[in-house]
């Protein structure tokens, strides 16, 4: 089936008592922009494993994107974190990095145990560091909604091996630090610059 020229960018709703989620703030800022010949379509995703799978599934069917970049908040991270691995495990009761509880179960029954991101991670890290933006690769997106979205994106597009699909965790926005005085954070403007640079780099590969 013919593909659109859409670059699907997702961000999550605020959760855990926060007023904002930097991932949605940034996705919204990019919505409608032309980047490298593709048009960004931003979709807001509810915070929950099953809900995230449903939303990304619907967005893929509706927009037939050429690339997918999921964004999420991982409070406590010190840098833009490009996720390498998504696992077939869902724990509706934990947030990222809190570990996996006894209630964890497969996200999609019968599907592979894990997928690697289809992103040129070393290139992206280099591009970000060249712009003096702290960036790192992460080997775990947790077992909550962000991992669910990343896993489902990769699973549902598994036959399109050349299509860039991946996920980036963002630190707290500096404004959120008022509630988390000891946690690292990053200015939203820097995170926005980072995601725009990632999108431009990916659009060049298509």
Q: Which long-range contacts (CB under 8 A, 24 or more apart) does 14-18 make?
A: 15/47, 15/95, 16/75, 16/95, 17/179, 18/73, 18/176, 18/179
Q: Spell out, one character per residue from 37 to 56, where the chain touches ligand PCA: x when CB under 6 A holds, - when not.
A: ----------x---------
Clarify whether 113 is annotated catalytic. Answer: no
- H/E stretch holding 145: helix 145-156
Biggest CA pair distance of the chain: 50
Distance from C-alpha of 79 to C-alpha of 191, rounded to nearest angstrom:
9
Residue 73 makes contact with ligand PCA by CB under 6 A: yes
Residue 7 makes contact with ligand PCA by CB under 6 A: no
Clarify whether 155 is annotated catalytic. Answer: no
- H/E stretch holding 121: helix 121-130
Query: From the candidates 113, 169, 200, 204, which is the catalytic residue?
Result: 169
Q: Which of residues 88-127 bind ligand PCA (CB under 6 A)?
A: 95-96
**Alpha-carbon distances of 156 from 87, 112, 151, rounded to whole Å:** 14, 12, 9
Q: Which of 7, 115, 144, 167 binds ligand PCA (CB under 6 A)?
A: 144
- Site stretch for ligand PCA (CB under 6 A), options 66-74, 111-119, 126-134, 171-179: 66-74
Structure tokens at 39: 């048009």
Q: Which of residues 145-204 bind ligand PCA (CB under 6 A)?
A: 145-146
Clarify whether 169 is annotated catalytic. Answer: yes
Q: Which residues bind ligand PCA (CB under 6 A)?
A: 12, 15, 21, 23, 47, 72-74, 95-96, 142, 144-146
Q: Which residues are catalytic?
A: 83, 146, 169
């Amino acid at each position: 089936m013919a593909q659109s020229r859409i670059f699907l960018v997702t961000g999550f709703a605020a959760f855990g008592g926060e007023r904002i989620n930097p991932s949605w703030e940034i996705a919204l800022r990019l919505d409608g922009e032309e980047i490298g010949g593709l048009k960004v379509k931003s979709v807001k995703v509810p915070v929950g494993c099953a809900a995230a799978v449903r939303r990304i599934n619907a967005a893929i069917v509706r927009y037939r994107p050429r690339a997918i970049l999921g964004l999420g908040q991982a409070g406590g991270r010190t840098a833009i974190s490009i996720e390498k691995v998504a696992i077939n495990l869902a724990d509706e009761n934990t947030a990222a990095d809190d570990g996996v509880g006894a209630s964890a179960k497969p996200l999609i029954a019968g599907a592979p145990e894990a997928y690697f991101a289809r992103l040129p991670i070393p290139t992206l890290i280099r591009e970000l560091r060249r712009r003096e933006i702290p960036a790192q690769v992460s080997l775990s997106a947790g077992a909550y909604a962000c991992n669910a979205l990343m896993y489902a994106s990769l699973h549902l597009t598994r036959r399109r091996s050349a299509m860039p699909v991946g996920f980036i965790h963002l630190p707290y926005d500096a404004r959120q630090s008022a509630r988390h005085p000891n946690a690292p954070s990053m200015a939203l403007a820097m995170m926005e610059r980072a995601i725009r640079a990632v999108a431009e780099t990916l659009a060049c590969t298509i």
